[in-house]
């Protein structure tokens, strides 16, 4: 059973939603600011969880912030709604304008852990939509909240939630570069690599356990694969010249890379362990920024073989290259949506570099931003949002925009430049 989407849903409590969210802003290292929302949002009430006061207020506040940030929900004031997993105050919630209601309970268990249970209700149909129970440690309160958000999001929108995913990005401050990993809400930021030399192009392995990236610590670009759990890493490509632009194959066994060992920036594939280097394409000019299509059949890439940088694709085993972009003199950094239907890339429009999306079936394009220094787009694993780097007031920030251009967020770190975002796949 799924709550149907109703465009005639009432719009209230906008201010209230903003007030509910405000106390969360200071906590995250990576602060996320919502700068645009969907046209129609599902009104939902998240009642305080029974027992929450004695454990952590983070639980429901994280769920509320997750849903609000997605731009697809409008939070309805839950003050005074009865708490608990079994409470179902349909009339009260409906009178407040909520189409959906979440109620839950958190309780300590004998082994010093916690059990969190919740149920999701449809107030229109006065029916339960389902619920879950999680046993967890106190350190996993936020992770549990993200799982609840994922459940609610999927039940109400029909698509999988991304609240339990993570983002990787590079922070530059005072001559130091840090590759950091944070939860999708910007919290829990951790440093995976710290260096005095630049780090670029981080990208998640399909199983979400490793990052491939380019580090300049050897005074030239070298490709590494870094296991996040153990902190161990190994060189994948350190040939004469430059080694860059790693992209994982969908099975995680190989990487498409750019090497210059044979002259020029050219496309190769290499095993994730650095073995079996194979040349993929050949051009007199620049070929770079390879990216596998989700089905593994194609590699999209940037090339200036036609006189200006444009996006092309080639079979994953090589063959003839076909040009994809034709409008304008600078179209770079191709990134396929997870369903393979859309292509996000950066196009130059009158001196402005802007995130653009193309429907590959119709070849229709849409510029998604009004900024001018967009770089490095990365799709959320459900394809709903695109994370990218841009610049505001001379400082590097991350921003996210929905694939339809409506929902907008800004992510920034105080007093630092932040760039090179990469959204993780779903966590197993």
Partner 1 sequence: MRPTTFKLSLAVSAIVLLAACGGQPPAPEQSPAGVVDGSRTGVGGPATGPTTVAPVTATAIDPTSLAALKDPKSVVFNRSVFFDYDQYVIKDEFKPLIDAHAKLLVKNPGVKMLIQGNADERGSREYNLALGQKRAEAVKKALMLLGGQEAQIESVSLGEEKPRCTDQSESCWAQNRRGDMLYSGEF
- Of 245 and 403, the one with the shorter C-beta distance to partner 1 is 245
Tokens of 381: 């694993």
- Measured from the CB atom, the residue of 54 and 263 that comes closer to partner 1 is 263
> Smaller CB distance to partner 1: residue 129 or 336?
336
Minimal distance, residue 333 CB to partner 1, in Å: 5
Determine contact, residues 163/149, Cβ cutoff 8 Å: yes
Rg of the chain on CA atoms, in Å: 23
In the complex, minimum distance from the CB of residue 144 to partner 1, in angstroms, rounded to a whole number:
37
Residue 341 or 348: which CB sits closer to partner 1? 348
Question: Would you say 50 or 265 has its CB closer to partner 1?
Answer: 265
Q: Minimum Å distance from CB 197 to partner 1? A: 8
Sequential DSSP letters for 381-421: TTSSEEEEEEEETTEEEEEEEETTS--EEEEE-TTSEEEEE
Q: In what order do the strands lie in the sheet with 408-412?
A: 31-36, 408-412, 395-402, 385-392, 375-379
Q: Which is nearer to partner 1, 83 or 244 (CB)?
A: 244
Which helix (H) or strand (E) segment holds residue 64: the answer is helix 58-69
**DSSP secondary structure string for all residues of 80-138:** TPPPSSS---HHHHHHTT-SEEEEEEEEE-TTS-EEEEEEEEETTTTEEEEEEEEEE-G
Residue among 66 and 287 whose Cβ is closer to partner 1: 287
Count of beta carbons in the 10 Å neighbourhood of residue 241:
16
Reference 185, options 402, 30, 61, 384; nearest CA is 30
Which spans of this chain sit near partner 1 (rule: CB under 8 A)?
198, 200-201, 214, 216, 219-221, 240-242, 244-245, 258, 260, 263-265, 285-289, 302, 309, 330, 332-333, 346, 348, 353, 373, 375-376, 394, 419-420
CB of 319 to partner 1, least distance (A): 22
Backbone angles phi, psi at 358, to 5 degrees: -120, 130
Provide the token pair at 122. Answer: 């449809």
Task: Give the residue with the Cβ less far from partner 1, 56 or 288.
Answer: 288
Sign of CA dihedral 101, 49, 69, 130: negative
Q: In whole angstroms, what is the distance from residue 265 CA to residue 232 CA?
A: 28
Smallest separation, CB 284 to partner 1 (Å): 11
CB of 348 to partner 1, least distance (A): 7
CA–CA distance, 351 with 224 (Å, rounded to integer): 33
Q: Which is nearer to partner 1, 176 or 232 (CB)?
A: 176
10 Å CB burial of residue 423 (0-12, 13-18, 19+) is buried
* Residue with Cβ nearer partner 1 (22 or 174): 174
Report, in Å, the least distance between residue 52 CB and partner 1: 44
- 3 state SS of 149: helix
In the complex, what is the shortest distance from the CB of residue 179 to partner 1, in angstroms, rounded to a whole number?
A: 14
Nearest distance from C-beta of residue 212 to partner 1, angstroms: 13
Instruction: Closer to partner 1 by CB, 154 or 375: give it.
Output: 375
Q: Among all chains, which residue has been given the structure tokens 């079979």?
A: 315
**Residues sharing a CB contact under 8 Å with residue 68, sequence separation 6 or more, in sequence order:** 17, 20, 21, 34, 74, 75
d(C-alpha 5, C-alpha 48), whole Å: 25
């Amino acid at each position: 059973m799924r709550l149907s989407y109703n465009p005639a849903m009432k719009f209230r409590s906008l201010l209230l939603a903003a007030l509910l969210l405000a106390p969360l802003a200071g906590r995250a290292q990576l602060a996320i600011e919502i700068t645009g929302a969907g046209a129609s949002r599902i009104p939902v009430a998240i009642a305080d969880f029974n027992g929450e006061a004695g454990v952590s207020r983070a639980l429901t506040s994280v769920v509320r912030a997750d849903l609000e940030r997605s731009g697809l929900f409008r939070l309805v004031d839950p003050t005074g709604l009865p708490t608990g997993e079994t409470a179902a105050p349909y009339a009260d919630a409906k009178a407040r304008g909520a189409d959906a209601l979440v109620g839950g309970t958190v309780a300590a268990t004998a082994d010093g852990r916690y059990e969190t249970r919740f149920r999701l209700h449809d107030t229109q149909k006065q029916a339960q939509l389902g619920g879950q129970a999680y046993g967890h440690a106190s350190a996993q309160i936020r992770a549990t909240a993200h799982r609840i958000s994922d459940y609610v999001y999927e039940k109400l929108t029909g698509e999988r939630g991304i609240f339990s995913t993570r983002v990787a990005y590079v922070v530059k401050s005072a001559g130091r570069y840090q590759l950091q990993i944070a939860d999708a809400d910007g919290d829990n930021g951790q440093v995976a690599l710290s260096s005095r030399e630049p780090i670029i192009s981080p990208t998640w392995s399909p199983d979400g356990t490793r990052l491939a990236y380019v580090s300049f610590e050897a005074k030239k670009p070298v490709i590494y694969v870094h296991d996040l759990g153990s902190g161990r890493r190994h060189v994948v490509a350190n040939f004469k010249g430059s080694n860059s632009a790693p992209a994982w194959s969908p099975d995680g066994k190989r990487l498409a890379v750019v090497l210059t060992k044979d002259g020029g920036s050219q496309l190769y594939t290499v095993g994730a362990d650095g073995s079996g280097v194979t040349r993929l394409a050949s051009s007199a000019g620049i070929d770079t920024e390879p990216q596998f299509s989700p089905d593994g059949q194609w590699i999209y890439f940037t090339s200036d073989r036609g006189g200006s940088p444009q996006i092309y694709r080639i079979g994953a085993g090589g063959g003839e290259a076909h040009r994809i972009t034709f409008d304008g003199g600078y179209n770079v950094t191709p990134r396929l949506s997870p369903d393979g239907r859309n292509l996000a890339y950066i196009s130059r429009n009158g001196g402005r570099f802007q995130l653009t999306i193309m429907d590959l079936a119709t070849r229709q394009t849409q510029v998604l931003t009004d900024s001018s220094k967009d770089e490095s787009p990365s799709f959320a694993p459900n394809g709903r949002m695109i994370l990218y780097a841009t610049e505001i007031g001379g400082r590097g920030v991350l921003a996210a925009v929905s694939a339809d251009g409506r929902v907008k967020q800004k992510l920034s770190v105080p007093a630092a430049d932040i760039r090179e975002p990469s959204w993780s796949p779903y966590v197993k």
